[in-house]
Amino acid sequence: MSQTSIPKEAELRNWAARELSAKGVVSLEKMQRLASATLGAKSDANAVLACRRDEQHRYLVDITTDMTVVMQCQRCLQPCDVDLRTSATLCVLWDDEAANDLPANYDPLISGDVTNLHALVEEELLLALPAVPMHKPEDCGHSGTEFGNGVEAVPAQREKPFAALGELLKDNATKT
């Protein structure tokens, strides 16, 4: 299944006037800031851009993205998969002065005639990165070990209850 790539650049006002849309992928190699903010990605980013104009003749882009990236779990320090999923309505503006008049459900996209779509998709994904990435508790190498260095301590503790019980019984037997 080969997927089409999102084009690198587009004239989004033109796209909005013609109600064009694009659906495709952007590879991590084309998003260097995202690449350096993560340990990698499980696959390309999926993105859908649907352009339109509203009643006030604003130029709008409904954009959704998703990608699974790999980050370092802040609990066990091992790599963990992080699902990113974003959805926004962007309003294409010439400068940020116009951004003050925007309805709250629109996000400003300051752009000249031509917009770099790869950077746009990357920006959405960057905003969705968790500040403190972590495994789910059941998947985390550090779960259940409050003290010590996690991974090694788990099997040792599993063996111990029986050994400790044996010692305890022996102790009691000799003491009484």
Give the footprint of Zn ion on this chain (CB under 5 A): 73, 75-76, 135, 140
Min CB(54)–Zn ion separation in Å: 44
Closest to 140 in 3D by CA, of 156, 151, 129: 151
Q: Based on CB atoms, which residue is closest to Zn ion, 25 or 140?
A: 140
Specify the residue for token string 């952007």: 26
Closest to 41 in 3D by CA, of 87, 85, 83, 86: 83
Closest to 20 in 3D by CA, of 115, 98, 101, 86: 115
Min CB(76)–Zn ion separation in Å: 3
Bridge-partner residues for 88, per DSSP? 63
Q: Based on CB atoms, which residue is closest to Zn ion, 30 or 135?
A: 135
Min CB(143)–Zn ion separation in Å: 8
Min CB(133)–Zn ion separation in Å: 9
Euclidean distance between CA atoms 16 and 11, whole angstroms:
9
Q: Based on CB atoms, which residue is closest to Zn ion, 108 or 150?
A: 150
Q: Based on CB atoms, which residue is closest to Zn ion, 132 or 163?
A: 132
